[in-house]
Each structure stands twice: as structure tokens, then as C-alpha cells.
Amino acid sequence: MSNFEDIIKEKANQFEAPYNEAHWLATQKKLKIAKTNLLLKKVFYTVITVSAISTIGYFIFSPSIINEEKSISSLPNNTISNETPVSTIHLDEKENTFTKSKENQHVSKNDDQKEVNETQEISNVSSTTIEKENLTNLPTSSDNNSSLPENKNEITPELYVSFKLNKTKICLGEVIKVEPSAYKNISYTWNFGDGNTSSESSPNYIYQKPGTYTISLKGIDLKTGKSVINEQKEVITVLPTPEASFTYTEEAEMHDDNKILYPYTQFKTPIDNTNTYIWNFGNGNTSKIASPRIIFNEKGSYKTTLIVTNKQGCSNSSTVIVSNKNAFVLYAPNAFSPNQDGDNDIFMPKALLTWDISFEMIIKNKSGELIYKTNNANEGWNGKLNNLGSTLDQDIYFWQIITFDSDGISHQHAGKINLIK
């Protein structure tokens, strides 16, 4: 068999067909028609595939594009433009079709004519489809850059202003603290209902008159310049405070400076039976009487304070420096010499000699034994037992005096006297 094949191959190589130009042109024409037919088929299938993928992708990714438009719109413009255009795909397919068409050179003429007719119809359909796809998918800008539309209806969160009061009832003169809700970038405007306003975020405020007031708060969003959604209002009651002013009078000044008979300093303040009063006279003494009288034993200045509280529980106070000009003292000597020389022979406090007052004086020794007693300013102690007999021994003796003021109230005084011979 191998010799037979060799003979056939040799004969075939020796055969030379006569050249026919018309036949050669017809063959070239058939090749072109076959190549066009395959090319159009490839284009048709490619267009159908691209259309299907685009349609499916649109329905899948359209919701995510709407929800994430900010992120997508921020991508570089060349991201989308780098996609392969449809026309480029056509060129690549055309080259591949031309290569394959060389292998199909023995297609019959009748079949070629039918395929040409079919190709023309497909070409018309494909051309229309390609134009629609190009209008839908290809970039529309001159530089082939495309981007997703920006959402201009950006939602701004609604802002509300609110505040709270540390108290809804306060006393006149008390500081009210208002605190707004913690929002940033808001300009506040406070109205305290008494004609006064504030632009501070958390102001402290003091009302000047008692009454009921409505506090309101408005806000402006500094980003948009618009007023915030609501305006809050709160009612506050300012309670009155009691009167706490007072006056004082040193009674001795009205009676020839007689501090022994008129020892008191009189205090006066407006009296309301529903109020309570607390006095502090600065000398260790206090009182809860509305208008008290007290005795300052020593002359000088005393810081006196009055605190008044009303039935609503509101307090008021005042402080005055009280100047006391007369001391409540008897001016008793600390020694005397009963030697009958006419100088300092009798013990009697000078105050009792000066003022006509009621008093009682007693003298005792160290053992507590009564030595002398009198209620007459002209009968002082002469250093003797009951002012009779011989003069007592030189020693220290103790005296006690009770005085009675103009109101008959007794006041006790005490001291010691040194008897010298």
C-alpha cells in the first residue's frame, strides 16, 4: 500500500491545473461572503450576551447604587471609562473570524447565497441592537468619563432644643440654673419672661421681682441657619422674701447716758407674725424675739445679724455694726483705806452715787460670812462689821450688787475690794 500511495502522491504533484481567472474571482467572492457571514453571527451572539449581562446587572446593582451613591460617586472618573467598548470587541472578533474563514473554502454557491440573505437580515437587526446598547452603556461625555449621579436631597437630622430647670420654685434672689440638651453647632436664645434674654448655652439668672415667669428657649442650627424644630417653655415661680432690715437705739443716750437705769439697746424690725427671727448680737448673745432689747456690758462696736424666714421657707438677712457708747458698769473701786483721813474711807460704786436707782449691796469675807448690807447710796461700807465697832483686818472682801432698771428688772454685779489699813 505504501508504493501505491507514493505513486498517487507523485501523480498529484505532477498535475497542474490550468489557470482560470473567472473561476479564481468567484472563489474569492465565496470566501468573502463566508467570512462576512461568520463575522455577523459572532457579532449577533456578542450583542445578545452583552445585552443580557447589562440587563441582569442593572436589576441586581441598581438598589445598591442608590443606597451607596456617595461612595460610588467619589470613585475616579477613569474607573468606568476603562471598560472595553463594544466597537473594540467587534474588531477582535473580526480578526478571529477572518482566520477561521480560510479553513472553509469549499462552501457551495447556493448555500452562500442563502447565507448572504440571512446575513443581511441579521445585520439589520444587529445594527439596531448595537445602536441601542451603545446609547445605553457607552459614556456620553466628550472625554469618555462617566460617573453616577449625585444625590442632592441629602437628609439632615432633625434637631430639637430642650432644657431642664434645677428648681420650679425659687426664692427671690436665688440663682436659677438652666441647662439645655447637649447639641453641638446650635445657637441658643433664652427668654426669661421678665424682659431679659441671654445667648449663653447654660446661663445662671437671678430674678429681681417675685412672680410667675415663663422661660423659653429657641435654637438656630449654625450649619443651615434655620430654626430648630421646637421651642420649649417652662414655668417658674419666684417666691417673695421677708423684710430683714432693722434699727437700734441705745436707751441710755435718751436719759442722760444713765446706763445703770437704762441699760438696754433696743432693736426694731418690721414684724410679721408668720415669720421667724434669729438675732446674733456679736457679743455671744442671741434672741428669737422679733424686736428684742439687750445689754452690752462694754462699750464698743458689735456686728449684729438678723435672719428672717417667712412661711414659704424663704429667708432674708441683714447685718449692721452696732456702736454702743455706754458701758454697763458700776465703776466700783478695787481698794479703799478706812482710816478716817477723809480720803477713800467709804466703799460705794460711783455709778450708784451718780444715778438715782434702786439697788441692794452686800459685803462678804472669804468665808462667805455677811459683813455688811445696804440699799442706800449714802450709806457705804466703812470697813467695819455692820459699820459698827472696830475696823476689820486688812484683807480682801467680796461685794455683790443687784440693780433694778427702769422696768424693775434686776441685774446682778459682783467684784472684790481690798481693805487697806
pLDDT tens digits for range 206-237: 999 999 999 998 888 888 877 775 678 899 99
- pLDDT(66) > 60: no
Any idea what the CATH number is for the domain that residue 285 is in? 2.60.40.10
Long-range contacts of 214-218 (CB under 8 A, 24+ apart): 215/163, 215/165, 215/178, 215/190, 215/191, 216/190, 216/191, 217/161, 217/162, 217/163, 217/178, 217/180, 217/188, 217/189, 217/190, 217/191, 218/161, 218/188, 218/189, 218/191
Question: Binning pLDDT at 50, 70 and 90, where does residue 305 land?
Answer: very high
Element (H, E) at 55: helix 21-67
Assess whether 305 and 388 both reside in one domain.
no
Q: Which of 299, 324, 349 is the last residue of a domain?
A: 324
- Let me know if residue 302 belongs to a domain: yes
Q: Which of 185, 213, 239 is the last residue of a domain?
A: 239
Assess whether 233 and 294 both reside in one domain.
no
- Let me know if residue 204 belongs to a domain: yes
Assess whether 121 and 198 both reside in one domain.
no
- Let me know if residue 10 belongs to a domain: no
Assess whether 277 and 293 both reside in one domain.
yes
pLDDT, residue 198, reads 93
Question: Binning pLDDT at 50, 70 and 90, where does residue 137 land?
Answer: very low
* Domains contained in the chain, number: 4
pTM of the predicted model as reported, rounded to 2 decimal places: 0.54
- Let me know if residue 199 belongs to a domain: yes
Written as one string, the DSSP assignment of 346-382 is SB--HHHHHS--EEEEEEE-TT--EEEEE--TT--B-
Q: Which of 239, 271, 298 is the last residue of a domain?
A: 239
Mean pLDDT of the chain: 78
Dihedral of alpha carbons 102, 107, 109, 115, sign:
negative
- Let me know if residue 395 belongs to a domain: yes
| Per-residue DSSP letter, 297 | S
- pLDDT(270) > 80: yes
